[in-house]
Amino acid sequence: MSRMAIRYTPQDCARLLEAVRTQQPLVQCLTNAVVTNFTANVLLALGAAPAMVDIPGEAAEFAPLASGVLVNLGTPTGSQRAAMLEAAEAARRAGTPWVLDPVAVGALSLRTAAARTLAGLGPAIVRGNASEIMALAGAGTGGRGVDSTDTPAAAAAAARSLAAATGAAVAVSGPRDLVFAQDGSAVGVDNGDALLTRITGGGCALGAVMAAFAAVTPDAALAATAATGTYTVAAERAARQATGPGSFPVAFLDELAAVAPEDVEASLRLAVPEQAPQPEGVR
């Protein structure tokens, strides 16, 4: 299996942000109750349109109408699990790209079983922290609730295995975000700020952003890379203004709305995953 780096550039990611802003994709979100409002606001700030359609019957009807779909297992009630299966199956039939976020899988059997079923329904992207990705791939038992106890580098083999098994791009969040394509090639994103880990929904909303980017390109690994890059560049800009986790979400939404393709091109730091993280300002 190839372990070469994906040859994406900041310019590629900047062009994809421009496409999102131009096309304004409609993203259906089946997500957890803790982050619904923040996720919708993140999509609006980005320039996409959120649709929180997550009940059985409607979920299947809406997925073919959406530009992209997010399935997030953060609070998987019985009715929402049914809606998620409906939406994933309908999206697959319609060719609508969808993102699976297997929140807190591993230790909790119900959501782990649901995530494994969903992973077999053709997601374009699987996004999670290192412990979640390892657990979904059968290489770990999960983290501490929604928090990872593993590093993205430790999850690399599991992520490559999961990408090969599902045909999805696999995005692993952490101090260095990693994105793996189906062929095992990978890219690292060295942007971001620790304040993203101190607010509710920092990771979950990224899954929705990935769905928006997947709506404007058939290259799922590029969509995951560009979404992560745009999101983390905006987080760095917001962190310079914020005084803590209370003011950060407001600054982040403002910066996500303000960040331009040329800002992403100038600030995004992509790297070969095996290299050490680069200092800020180096690409």
Residue 52 marked ligand-binding? yes
In whole angstroms, give the CA distance from residue 160 to residue 274: 14
Whether the CA torsion 104, 212, 269, 233 is positive or negative: it is negative
Task: Quickly list DSSP for the chain.
Answer: ---PBP---HHHHHHHHHHHHHH--EEEEE--TTTHHHHHHHHHHHT-EEE---STTHHHHHTTTSSEEEEE-SS--HHHHHHHHHHHHHHHHHT--EEEE-TTBTTBHHHHHHHHHHHTT--SEEEEEHHHHHHHTTS----BTTB-SS-TTTTHHHHHHHHHHH-SEEEEESSSEEEE-TTS-EEEE----GGGGGSTTHHHHHHHHHHHHHTT-S-HHHHHHHHHHHHHHHHHHHHTT-SSTTTHHHHHHHHHHH--HHHHHHH--EE-TTSPPPPTT--
Residue whose C-alpha is closest to residue 173's, from 193, 158, 157, 151: 151
Backbone angles phi and psi of 85, in degrees to 5: -65, -45
Residue 173 marked ligand-binding? yes
Beta bridge partners of 173: 129
Residue 79 marked ligand-binding? no
Residue 84 marked ligand-binding? no
In whole angstroms, give the CA distance from residue 86 to residue 104: 21
Indicate the annotated binding residues for substrate: 52, 201
Indicate the annotated binding residues: 52, 127, 173, 201
Indicate the annotated binding residues for ATP: 127, 173
